[in-house]
Structure 1
């Protein structure tokens, strides 16, 4: 995995800087802190009419799940209880407004992400075994650990680094593309092509064909060997269209979220040197530090659901066809569930949050994400003595609306 050090740094910055045009469509260039507004909104009512960004005070036509959808009524939920109700009722609050057609246009949204009910359960069950906690070491041993150490090799002798681009951004994209059998030098090409699904399909088709002939120990092999039992009880291997559907979803999700959450977690610790020193001495504290960062500032603080029939939520009438935006960020700081919720406190009693969503569509890759974060930060502490923020550089800032992350993370360490 030494090729990881040869990745084009300028290209990584273009693809993985929230302020770039590539990411600004989801509000990546928003520099204000939305949490005070979300707190006021939650205190006023659990559910409001309007979109999260409009209610927060940021007008615009952002693109994200459930947005912009200008012809539908929009509502936003801010309390833990409201989100819990929605996630527990997927028949009323659907993840998609359209049925999935795997033989139609390839897209990450035309996939398991948009399926419901029995269809979703059948398809998810095919890949779930590769993403359970017991399989974390499969990911760590095959892809994560080698990537992490190759990246550190690239700057360990310098005494300084910028960890958002030089470290956090590269780990997830190299992990997920590596699990597909894609060479590191092609990883950024694939990431750049995610908004061109036909191009992604063209890139992975030779790998799919090769794995059908000779399976390997990777995720594409899991997909081509998976057997699906259809509605009529007939069992068959996944078609190319079905494999492509899985691949587009897993590549988009796997390369586009964990880098931001790793940066958030790392920044929270670097801003608290005494806490970072405690974790260096006692690595068991890294797990609660990561879980608290997930609660305190989830990288994707909003997802949406479509109302399938007239209903109400927390006393607010919702018409069929409406979009309900679930503000995970606000719900994860609900004082009805957590004391002092705006504080980052790794000693608090761990309670399940909505950092990875909830219900049947809870994030498939959450255990892989945790493995990437813990392996990455653990390796930094192992190999970079005296790791600290660079006092002579601009400190990292938390930015973004529907995708939260940090700016550059400049650090110094002892050589």
Structure 2
């Protein structure tokens, strides 16, 4: 039995990767409606509206969305592709954080590269960017993605029932094992990382010993990359990263790497399984798998909104935005903007390629997007290769899309063979 197989405490996996569970309480995990018709109406009325996305959608629950930033500030939501794209590309006017990063304070995801702007963000991102470029995707596949996918499918086949659940039992494990493996975290601690995502001190108890060990003996992992990296300051001086700087990178990458791709993979799988003719076409012509994944990203991005802070008074697409206000870039409705895509509400894998905003845009475009694509390509491709006649289980409740600020599928019950 491999270490990955020993990890498969399915009950714990299901608890930690439940869209309706405690980790999702702050982002509207219990939301079960389809918000896109309301978002389409809002987009038609104006590019920018005053208010948060959930308020504008008709949800006024002060307890369901505690994850939103800066409740005391004015809030605006942006709905068109053109307006969202313009905001992403102006990182000076639309800052990623209301304050500077302070490495002397307690390590946290918000106190990391995610919150940096301008030259500081460029210099820190440049340290890890080479590990996430498209040419490195196969390193990730060889290093951990392929082995994880193969082990999970073996687990499904060994059950001998011709049935399985794919969203949590398959999709959820792939990203968390990929990112923890890339950090040199032992397989049997991977779920501990997921459990500790909202408890930085607990997460640092796992990370700190690895950082110390890699300072003594660097290896072939991301912590070693950070330990060896030298940061160039604006005055030209160079220095190795401090423990606090490495911790900030680690917290951000572990949170991002383990928390989004599993939901997007579940969305893509559900979209295909609900359209058997499309699934058959992808099975017959594997060149269609990439376009199918890209269409899932456009059609239903798992994170339909990202926030920015306005640094000066400005008029933006017909709306005055005061300095200090929060602007929510609503990529969900922007990705279905009929000004950019014909029949935008249809899931169509044969669309002419056109970039969406599923991974954001501008200087802060998602660092791990190529790894996420590699995870989805490897995972879904392996399912098509190894589970003959893969289809939804007609005797089980069909999957549904739920969640608000983090969208995903419910259980995906399938039959095969």
Whether the TM-score (by the shorter chain) exceeds 0.5 is yes
Match runs of 1:193-212 below 5 Å: 193-212=196-215
Match of 1:11 in 2: 12
Match of 2:386 in 1: 383
Match of 1:373 in 2: 376
Question: Residue 9 of structure 1: CA displacement?
Answer: 1.2
- Aligned residue pair count: 413
Q: Deviations over 1:305-333 (max 9, x none)?
A: 00000001111000001000111000000
User: Is the aligned partner of 1:265 residue 2:268?
Assistant: yes
Match of 1:81 in 2: 82
Structure 2: 5+ residue stretches without partners: none
Match runs of 1:3-402 below 5 Å: 3-6=3-6, 7-61=8-62, 62-63=64-65, 67-157=68-158, 158=160, 159-402=162-405
Match of 1:410 in 2: 413
Q: What CA distance in whole angstroms lies between the structure 1 residues aligned with 2:66 and 2:288?
A: 34
Q: Is the 8 A contact 1:296 1:332 kept in 2?
A: yes
Question: Residue 22 of structure 1: CA displacement?
Answer: 1.7
Q: What CA distance in whole angstroms lies between the structure 1 residues aligned with 2:129 and 2:335?
A: 26
Question: Residue 63 of structure 1: CA displacement?
Answer: 4.3
Q: What CA distance in whole angstroms lies between the structure 1 residues aligned with 2:226 and 2:59?
A: 41
Instruction: Describe the SS at the equivalent of 1:25.
Output: helix
Question: Residue 246 of structure 1: CA displacement?
Answer: 0.2
Instruction: Describe the SS at the equivalent of 2:157.
Output: coil
Instruction: Describe the SS at the equivalent of 2:156.
Output: coil
Q: Is the 8 A contact 1:73 1:323 kept in 2?
A: yes
Q: What CA distance in whole angstroms lies between the structure 2 residues aligned with 1:24 and 1:280?
A: 37
Q: Is the 8 A contact 2:25 2:65 kept in 1?
A: no
Question: Residue 68 of structure 1: CA displacement?
Answer: 4.3
Per the normalisation by structure 1, the TM-score is 0.98
Give the RMSD, CA atoms, in angstroms. 1.1
Greater CA deviation, 112-121 or 222-231? 222-231
Question: Residue 231 of structure 1: CA displacement?
Answer: 2.3
Q: Deviations over 1:97-142 (max 9, x none)?
A: 1110012111011000000000000000000000000000100000
Structure 1: 5+ residue stretches without partners: none
Q: What CA distance in whole angstroms lies between the structure 1 residues aligned with 2:382 and 2:397?
A: 24
Question: Residue 64 of structure 1: CA displacement?
Answer: 7.0
4+ runs deviating over 6 angstroms: none
User: Is the aligned partner of 1:2 residue 2:2?
Assistant: yes
Question: Residue 172 of structure 1: CA displacement?
Answer: 0.2
Q: What CA distance in whole angstroms lies between the structure 2 residues aligned with 1:337 and 1:408?
A: 32
Q: What CA distance in whole angstroms lies between the structure 2 residues aligned with 1:12 and 1:233?
A: 47
Q: Is the 8 A contact 1:14 1:22 kept in 2?
A: no
